[in-house]
Structure 1
Amino acid sequence: MRRIGRRDIVAAILIALLAGAVFTSPPLRSLQGLSLDILTALRGKIVGDRRDPATSPVVVVAIDGETYDTPPFKGSPTQTWTREIGRVLGSITDGGAKVIGFDVIFPSSIEQSEIPFGDAPLGSRMRGFDRDYLIALRQISDGGKLVLGEILSNDHPDTPYTAQRVAVRNNIRALNVHTDADDVIRRMPLSFSIDGKPVPAMAVELAARAVGAKVELAPSGATELSGYTIPSAVPNTLTLNFRGLGRDVPAYSFADLRACVEKGDRDFFRRAFGGKVVLLGTALNFEDRKLTSMRLASGYDGAPGVRCALPAPASTAQNARSDVAGVFVHATVVRNLIERDAVTELGFPMRTVLTIVFAAIIACAACLLAPGGALIVWLALTAIYTAAAVGAFVHAMALPLTEPALASLAALAMMIGYRFVLADRDERFLRKSFALYLAPEIIETMVASGKMPELGGEMRNVTMFFSDLSGFSSIAETMTPGELVKLMNEYLSAMTDIIESHGGYVDKYIGDSIVAMFGAPADDPAHARNAVHAALKCHEKLAGLNASNAAFVGHGLSHRIGLNSGEAVVGNIGSRRRFNYTVMSDTVNVASRLEGANKYYGTAIMASEATVAQTGDTFAWRELDAIRVMGRGEAIKVFEPLANRGAQSAKQAKVAAAYAEGLACWRAREFAKAADAFAKTANTDPTSALFAKRAQALAANPPPPDWTPVNALEGK
């Protein structure tokens, strides 16, 4: 997980705002409708939400394919059906229906036909054909139980013919629907302005008569029915809730009902239509089909009602379709209003805020994680949110679904692009620059720290590590080129692995020498301790190679290591066309001199007092001497690391104690005592043997009074 800075936070916020604004903008308003479609489909598939059609407050009388294929309607024009329609409507009314609405329009009558028939028009010969039908309409309408339908249009209005309008005393309501830009019906109008006054739509009028209340306009502008405030995301509309996917509304075939009238089964009409709102409409495969928010789930033209007189058609199985008969759209509005179950949608401000928040979460994830991880977060969060949205939709609350999902996906893509172009540019440069000569874990540490090396150099506190094989030139002369290369590759690989595993950076190889630094390019507050640990491990590893590796056996290789800590300039240094990440300063020079000083003292590892000071009490040390290296006027104390504190052997402790005693006498000019102390371990410790010899010489020939206990080393 990468660290994010203020610039990344600002970028994430701006990207989320942009994505949220774009995907909730008016040009993409169709996404809101798509959310309804998806939620309807998911609720239908996951929850099911099946309801008993018998509990429906609304039923449909369907002029269906069976009607067209059943005598006396088969082969007859629909204008001739009116008398039979009147008889069926009368029986439905007698059965206790609350109100009947027409989703079919008869714009003309056979009585109006001007087609010649003999010596007079056909219409004149059919006078009185619709009389019984019109009487039935008048009687039912006078009881407040009938509403005819019409289509309002400035160009081509579709209304019942005049005699019907007179019969129902203009008790007519509009059947117009609200169609979205993608030609899908997701909402239905609540009212229409006629002569400057709001008049309820057909379905609203039927629901109002069923509950015995009037439609009212609240001070807030919302439409109310019997205390129910109808939710309207789009003004003056109701958002349809197809909870049962059409299968929760009973549909009775008009042909069967007509036969039931002939049969005289009044009880059937009471059972089927008592207390119900009835809608008369067509349910055909080719006429008045509507795309609704069920289009992805596939809806049904109602649930087949109980039969009364005719046997069910041979094929009664219903097929789910993307479109449904228009009468079931009106039936859904009636049921939504009576059951107070219309869908509540979030308004534009809340949809936008929710979309922006969702996009911001994913943008932050894309900023923190790798693209693959961010994509997994997007998938997981989208799945969780979708489940929550479906749960809310079960309770008729429609949360935006497509807008947050698509906006967050766009935010994910934009944030990845931002990181590639801007935010991760330094990281890519660092990985490219150090990939071939820095351990992967060190690169990851540098990336995680967020501190990139400055181009051109920067001052850093580091610990320098110099090592060199002792007497390697003479050994190399005895080997073939192949043997030499193999040995060097084995040695340098082993040492490099140890250095890098302790956080070090190998600057260069010079023959058999290794130049490394700790504390750069990655920040490492414990660079001195890690450098000493690495030096001890390298010394231990070389002993193991000499004992077990075939390339080393018989050569007895040994090396010298110098360590020094201090300020140094590190960075990309070189020409404009070619440069290396390296280090320069007096700290580097001193470390190099200490590596060479080991051969004077017979030691393998020598560290400056600056390095010892930065390691605290981690190691057991032996102070070797105070020296003045070539090219530096100031003397420095040098030390030899023995082991981790508390882990030194008894032999190491004995040698260190005797050496410390001798060094104290040496610096006090008590050379004879110093020689005796050094002599105690001179036979096993080359450094003690060196000082015993020097102390004996000075005891025999005392130095002048201005003598200081500082050893000035000549050469490297």
Structure 2
Amino acid sequence: MAIGRRTRDALAVIAIALACAGLLASPAFERGRGLSLDALTWLRFETFGNRHDAVTSPAVVIAIDEESYQAAPFKGAPLLTWTGEIGRVLTATLEGGAKAVGFDIVFQTSIEQSEIPLGDSTLGEKTRGFDREFLRALAAAAAGGKVVLGEIFGEPPILPAPGQRIAVRQQQNLRPLNTYTDNDDVVRRHPLTLSAENKTIPSMALELAARATGRSPVIAADGVTLGDYRVPGSVPGTMTLNFAGGAQDIPTYSFADLRACALKGDKDYFRREFAGKVVLVGTVGIEDRRLTSKRFATRAEGARRPRCVLEPREVAKTFARSTIAGVYIHATAVNNLVRQDAAVELSRPAIFAITASLALAAALLARLLRPTLAAAILAALAVLYTAIATALFNQSHVLPIAEPLAAGVLALAATTFYRFMVTDKDRRLLQKSFAYYLAPREIDRMLASRRLPQLGGETREVTVFFSDIEGFSRIAEQMTPEQLMALTNEYLSAMTDVIESHDGYVDKYIGDSVVAVFGAPLDDPDHARSAARAALDCKAKLAELNLMSTAFQGIKVAQRIGINSGAALVGNFGSQRRFNYSVMSDAVNVASRLEGANKFYGTTIIGSHSTVALAGDEFAWRELDTIRVKGREQSLRIYELHGRAAELSAPEHALLAGYAAGLAHWRAGELPQAADCFAQHAADDAPHRLFAERAKAAVEGGPAAWDPVRSLQEK
């Protein structure tokens, strides 16, 4: 069966698309995933503006801003001395109907704790009671569950002053302010929970949203639920922030103006602006600024809500920073939770599927059209896809942008290169070279692997498989030539089917023997594992034939199998007119010796140490012995392939463990102990029985009769 050029090109296009998609959707391109979110935030803002009016924002910010630092009576005074006025504004805000107030600033100490000498005492003693009004405001708010102080988990943790913690009833009203930063130092996700002292604690944002909605969060190992809202998140324990663009999405109030308003006693203002709101108090200036996924969609900042007392300040309209104050991260998280519109990211398999689709489209365009036309159509597809992604993001669903577009460009370039490099190649050389010794199915699979053996031979890592029928001469004596032919053909056909189903290649048949190789001509990085699976399945298939096949005439056939892994020369061997694809190396000879070693140990499948090391822990291997085979001076550790590890029964585990203990005693020269171990299962296991006899003979013969390495001079 010939493979046409179209089929070859189709396979190449698919392979290029999958490779590009795999690369761009892999964790190695994780920054691209974040870039997609950043780009969508910018595109949505520029296309649709913000979905919500700022007046409807569940969260508002009281900003300790530059205006506050410059206003009387705060100018020149450290923030630590502002606590009384902060308490005044806190009380006025809650009396105005705020649902909860969270502090995005941490006062780690109090001026009352100062030990700086002042006169005949200390500054702390002179200012005793300085924070009383602040603490009273905190205590009153805590009594109603309407205040949350921030803390920062870390080594060491950053905590509010002891008096403040007591006032808010300790952990009852303390929540962490930690944020989550991607590996490119951009904040795109926010913690829902954090762990401390084996406890899972809601973050500040989750706690404030819960108090605002009156619903306690349900925290489980697989996520967080707030009321009827299952909070989506691509990173465990976090939510993906759905930032609005610009700088007016979250109402902001200058602390200086609110302090003046509280002194004025304008309760109506506080009711108009804060009733039903979640209030966050934090600094808004040059400190604590973070890059976020709205870094391309920022605008000039400033307190833009109607003022109460102070005159409105002119806000520069030409200066916009790519960073935002940290308090807006928490406010955005609160808004997302209350509005139930956190960004929903796709899983990695879904991202791969989308990326592969666009890469495949690009590869097909490059294969079928001129490069310039293919590039133009791909650009149009990219614009259409980006428009769809932007529209979906307006509904909080995040489609990948960077990964598919980058994969499309890469696939376009790779396929264009393929066209120029492979346009004149077809499959005639492959058919001519391999039709002598490969079935059409094998040629198909070799082409799919996109790697051909070098004509004349090449060195590759392979696993060689030898099998033989035990006592074949005795079986032949009991049957007519026709019956023997039928049995042999059915046996070899069944074994060949099993070997080829595991990507093995049958090199040759030598009478009743089968010589096969795994890892050539087809690439198979798991060639040892494939050979082990084939050996077990051959054993199972033979047991089925013994029960079901009429060709076996009631004769119970047994087989011996040897498998060995190593470097081998594979390729065309023979004359110029007749040749065969085969394998040659010492690895082949060792596999043949291992097949013969089965009759000395009463086993069916023996593998070498190199095969065991490559096959992995899928299988249960029993180390049988250390032997020296004919033709080799170097000793060799051999292992019986007992079965699949997951299928072993408890008695089988005990059998293998007992044998391993006996072998350890034997190699240590502890012969009586070895004899005792092997004798326990000698009645029902041939390797135990063999070693029990050897150990007994060694005990009787003394040290001169003991040799930890057995020489097998027969095959």
The residue aligned with 1:371 is 371
Partner of 2:415: 415
Q: Give the conservation status (yes or no) of the 8 Å contact 1:250–1:302.
A: no
- Look up the match of 1:619: none
> Which residue does the alignment assign to 1:60?
61
Q: Deviations over 1:350-402 (max 9, x none)?
A: 00111111101110111101111111121011011000000100100000000
Look up the match of 2:663.
none
Q: Which residue of the partner structure matches residue 164 of structure 2? A: 164
Q: The residue matched to 2:76 in structure 1 has which SS? A: coil
Corresponding residue for residue 531 of structure 2:
none
SS in 1 for 2:91: helix
In structure 1, what is the equivalent of residue 362 of structure 2?
362
Matched-pair contact (CA < 8 Å) for 1:61–1:278: yes
Match of 1:186 in 2: 188
Q: CA deviation at 1:49?
A: 2.3
Could you say which residue in structure 2 is the equivalent of 1:531? Answer: none
Q: Distance in 2 between matches of 1:180 and 1:301?
A: 25
Amino acid at match of 1:214: S
Q: How does 1:107-256 map to 2 (within 5 A)?
A: 107-154=108-155, 156-170=156-170, 171-217=173-219, 221-256=222-257
Q: What pairs with 1:20-59 in structure 2 (closer than 5 Å)?
A: 20-49=21-50, 51-59=52-60
RMSD: 1.6
Residue identity matched to 2:328: F
Q: Is the 8 A contact 2:280 2:331 kept in 1?
A: yes
- 1:246–1:328 contact (8 Å) kept in structure 2: no
Aligned partners of 2:409 and 2:317: how far apart in 1?
A: 42
User: 156-165 or 271-280: which moved more?
Assistant: 156-165
Distance change (3 Å), C-alpha of 1:230 and 1:300: farther
Q: CA deviation digits over 1:301-332, x for unaligned, max 9?
A: 47611100111224465843210111011100
Task: Give, in whole Å, the separation in 1 of the partners of 2:211 and 2:304.
Answer: 26
Q: Which amino acid aligns with 1:404?
A: P
Corresponding residue number in structure 1 for 2:296: 296
Residues 302, 328 of structure 1: 8 Å contact kept: no
Q: Would the alpha carbon gap of residues 149 and 318 (structure 1) be closer, same or farther in structure 2, given more than 3 Å must change?
A: farther
Q: Following TM superposition, by how much is the alpha carbon of 1:53 offset from its aligned partner in structure 2, in angstroms?
A: 1.3
Question: 1:146 and 1:318 mapped to 2: Cα distance?
Answer: 37
Correspondence 1:80 to 2:58: no
Measure how far apart 1:244 and its partner are. Answer: 4.2
- 1:630 is matched with which residue? none
What is the correspondence of 1:544-623 to structure 2 with a 5 Å cutoff? none
Give, in whole Å, the separation in 1 of the partners of 2:168 and 2:74: 25
How far apart in 2 are the matches of 1:304 and 1:213? 31
Q: How far 1:222 moved relative to its partner? A: 2.3
Say whether the 8 Å CA contact 1:79–1:110 is kept in structure 2.
Answer: yes
Change (3 A) 1:384 1:130: same
Partners of 2:314 and 2:299 in 1: CA distance:
22
Between the aligned partners of 1:237 and 1:162, the Cα distance in structure 2 is 30
* Residue 19 of structure 1: aligned partner: 20
CA–CA distance in structure 1, aligned partners of residues 301 and 191 of structure 2: 21
TM-score by length of 2: 0.58
Measure the CA separation in 1 of the matches of 2:99 and 2:246: 24
State the Cα distance separating 1:218 from its structure 2 match: 5.3
Q: CA deviation at 1:197?
A: 2.1
Residues of 1 paired with 2:395 and 2:95: CA distance?
37
Q: 1:340 to 1:300 in 2, by over 3 A?
A: farther
Name the residue aligned to 1:707: none
Q: Deviations over 1:188-242 (max 9, x none)?
A: 00001122221110011000000001111358x1211011011101111111111
Name the SS for the 1:29 alignment partner: helix
Amino acid across the alignment from 1:200: P
How does the TM-score come out when normalised to structure 1?
0.57
* CA–CA distance in structure 2, aligned partners of residues 162 and 359 of structure 1: 59
Change (3 A) 1:252 1:7: same
CA distance in 2, matches of 1:320, 1:340: 29
Q: Which residue of structure 2 aligns with residue 383 of structure 1?
A: 383
The aligned amino acid for 1:226 is G
1:63-92 CA-to-partner distances (Å, cap 9, x unmatched) read 000000000000001111000000110000
Contact 2:152 2:159 in 1 (8 A): yes
Instruction: Return the alpha-carbon distance in structure 2 between the equivalents of residues 4 and 34 of structure 1.
Output: 39
Shift of 1:424: 5.3
Alignment correspondent of 2:10: 9
Residues of 1 paired with 2:59 and 2:118: CA distance? 43
Counterpart of 2:327, as a letter, is V
Mapped contact 2:39–2:296 kept (Cα < 8 A): yes
- One-letter code aligned to 2:233: S
Q: How far apart, CA to CA, are the structure 1 residues paired with 2:358 and 2:383?
A: 13
Q: 1:128 to 1:318 in 2, by over 3 A?
A: farther
1:404 aligned counterpart, secondary structure? helix
Q: Is the 8 A contact 1:95 1:274 kept in 2?
A: yes
Letter of the 1:92 counterpart: T
Deviation of 1:113 (Å): 1.0
SS at match of 1:185: coil
Distance 1:53 1:147 in 2: 24
| Partner secondary structure for residue 282 of structure 2 | strand
In 1: Cα distance, 2:321 partner to 2:376 partner: 35
Code of the residue aligned with 2:332 in structure 1: it is: T
Q: Any idea what SS the aligned residue of 2:188 has? A: strand
Distance 1:90 1:265, change over 3 A: same
Letter in 1 for 2:74: F
Residue of structure 1 equivalent to 2:311: 311
Structure 1 residues 533-584: Cα deviation after superposition (integer angstroms, max 9, x where no partner): xxxxxxxxxxxxxxxxxxxxxxxxxxxxxxxxxxxxxxxxxxxxxxxxxxxx
Residue identity (%): 50
Aligned-partner SS, 1:135: helix
Alpha-carbon distance in 1 for matches of 2:316, 2:13: 57
Report what 1:71 is aligned to: 72
Q: Distance in 1 between matches of 2:322 and 2:290?
A: 9
Q: Is the 8 A contact 2:38 2:295 kept in 1?
A: yes
Find out whether 1:258 has 2:253 as its counterpart. Answer: no
SS in 2 for 1:224: strand
Structure whose alpha-carbon radius of gyration is higher: 1
Report how far residue 46 of structure 1 moved: 1.4
Counterpart AA for 1:395: Q
Moved more, 196-205 or 303-312: 303-312
Give distance in 1, aligned partners of 2:84 and 2:197: 33
Distance in 1, matches of 2:246 and 2:418, equals 44
Which residue is 1:477 aligned to?
Answer: none
Aligned partners of 2:147, 2:348: CA distance in 1, in Å?
39
2:245 and 2:297 in contact (8 A); partners too = no
Give the direction of change, closer, same or farther, for the CA distance of 1:150–1:218 in structure 2 (3 Å limit): closer
Q: Bigger CA drift: 35-44 or 300-309?
A: 300-309
Moved over 3 A (4+): 299-303, 314-319
The answer on whether the counterparts of 1:300 and 1:324 sit within 8 Å (CA) in structure 2 is no
Q: Measured at CA, do residues 271 and 372 of structure 1 come closer, stay the same or move farther in structure 2, by a change above 3 Å?
A: same
Q: Deviations over 1:608-640 (max 9, x none)?
A: xxxxxxxxxxxxxxxxxxxxxxxxxxxxxxxxx
Aligned to 2:406: 406
Residue 299 (structure 1) shift: 4.6
Distance change in 2, residues 1:271/1:192 (3 Å): same
- Aligned partners of 2:54 and 2:350: how far apart in 1? 36
Distance 2:5 2:226 in 1: 54
Amino acid at match of 1:99: A
Q: What amino acid is aligned across from residue 164 of structure 1 in structure 2?
A: Q
Contact 1:301 1:328 in 2 (8 A): no
The aligned length equals: 421
Q: Is the 8 A contact 2:247 2:298 kept in 1?
A: no
* Cα distance in structure 1, aligned partners of 2:234 and 2:303: 30
